[in-house]
Amino acid sequence: MTVFEGQDISCVRGERIVLEHLSFAVDAGGALVLQGPNGSGKSSLLRLMAGLARPAAGRIAWQGAAIGEDPEAHALRLHYVGHLDAVKPAFRVRENLSRWAGLRGAGEAGVARALDSFGLAALADLPARLLSAGQKRRLALARLLAVDAPLWLLDEPTVALDRESVAALTAAIARHRASGGIAVVSTNVELDLPGAEMLALPRFAPSDAVAGTGLL
């Protein structure tokens, strides 16, 4: 059963076409890998999928219903990890996760699991400002496990990660998919995601403008 899909999507940023006539479909337990050069629209597409922006044309739906019909419900069903780690430097590592879990109405059980899975348990009482770039990235990714959500949207999640941390991430994605979850990942490095669908995004030239495209 197709759970998450987009039909004939176009995206305009400023006055430039970023994506045009793009479609995708992901079943429960599936993974979709977005590939393409810098500027091809991978991050823009993830923002559309997260409901943080609206497509210039086309439709994105969850179980047949357009995500824009109930944006609050869509926000609660997803985790979006972007380029910024969104870590509060004054909070301790555990506190960062606990406050996130509290905002989503979850308890501490998921926090402990998240700390263990991403090798952060020994750093739990350390202020986040003292973390390295890789440790901050692991803390950002640990939010995926602190609170359950069926849809994971990950934008270049392996940045600053060492080999062991990449393995922890792919293991987390595998468990998520095994439970029926969906992962959409933007990456230009090879990840071990068996059975994942690939969506290659072409680069649009800077001269590709809105005028004459029928998007406005």
Instruction: Express each pLDDT in 130-178 by its tens digit.
Output: 999 999 999 999 999 999 999 999 999 999 999 999 999 999 999 999 9
| Residues 26 and 177 sit within 8 Å (Cβ to Cβ) | no
Instruction: Express each pLDDT in 20-78 by its tens digit.
Output: 999 999 999 999 999 998 889 999 999 999 999 999 999 999 999 999 999 999 999 99
pLDDT at 15 over 70: yes
Global model pTM greater than 0.75: yes
| Residues 62 and 4 sit within 8 Å (Cβ to Cβ) | yes
Residues recorded for the chain: 216
Residue 20 backbone dihedrals phi, psi, to 5 degrees: -150, 130
Q: Give the separation between CA 28 and CA 32, rounded to whole angstroms.
A: 11
The separation between CA 194 and the C-alpha centre of its own chain, rounded to angstroms, equals 18
Residue with tokens 């994942």: 196
Q: How far is CA 113 from CA 94, 98, 110, in A?
A: 11, 12, 5
pLDDT at 214 over 70: no
Residue with tokens 């597409």: 45
- Of 6-10, 52-56, 123-127, 200-204, the range with the lowest mean pLDDT is 200-204
- Of 73-77, 95-99, 159-163, 200-204, the range with the lowest mean pLDDT is 200-204
